[in-house]
Amino acid sequence: MTVYERVVGWLAAAFFGLPGLWAFLAPANFAANVATFPPFSRHLVHDMGAFMVGLAVVVVAAMFWSDALSAAFLGLAVGAGLSGIAHILDTDLGGRKITDPVTLFGMAALLVAGLVMRRRRLATGSRSTVKRGAPV
């Protein structure tokens, strides 16, 4: 990885991750200072922040892992997990109080399981689940 690529990667992670954390942790403050268009929706800003943090995690993971699917699984797991937390924090706003968080946490768990399996397979060099000629 070149210095330029590394700098752009860290800038992208900061560009998405820092405002994403701000939106997730202080949605009203974020909306008042950045997303100033009405109407304010706490849950929408929570979810936006959750997935912005997930994007930042994808970029950072991709700088350390050469495997794109591993980076994607990790970032999506973070985004889904934070979105599940947002659904719990925002139960007073509506939505499905049980199935929304369970679905999001379930997807996060599937992604983490897929990530663990993929990293183990890549570490052992096993190609047993890949068709001949298919990219790893």
Q: Name the DSSP letter for residue 91.
A: G
- Judge contact between 22 and 36, C-beta under 8 A: no
CA angle 67, 103, 68 (to 5 degrees): 5
pLDDT at 128: 58
pLDDT at 125: 84
Q: Give the whole-angstrom CA distance, residue 115 versus residue 61.
A: 12
Q: What is the pLDDT of residues 91-134, one digit of tens each?
A: 888 778 888 999 999 999 999 999 999 999 999 987 655 555 55
Q: Give the whole-angstrom CA distance, residue 17 versus residue 63.
A: 15
Domain coordinates in residue numbering, the chain: 3-124
Helices marked H in 66-133: 68-89, 99-124
pLDDT at 1: 87
pTM of the model: 0.86
Q: What is the pLDDT of residues 22-39, one digit of tens each?
A: 999 999 999 999 989 899
Q: What is the pLDDT of residues 30-86, one digit of tens each?
A: 999 998 989 999 999 999 999 999 999 999 999 999 999 999 999 999 999 999 999
pLDDT at 135: 58
pLDDT at 98: 87
pLDDT at 129: 55
pLDDT at 132: 52
Q: Give the whole-angstrom CA distance, residue 20 versus residue 84.
A: 15
- Judge contact between 102 and 83, C-beta under 8 A: no
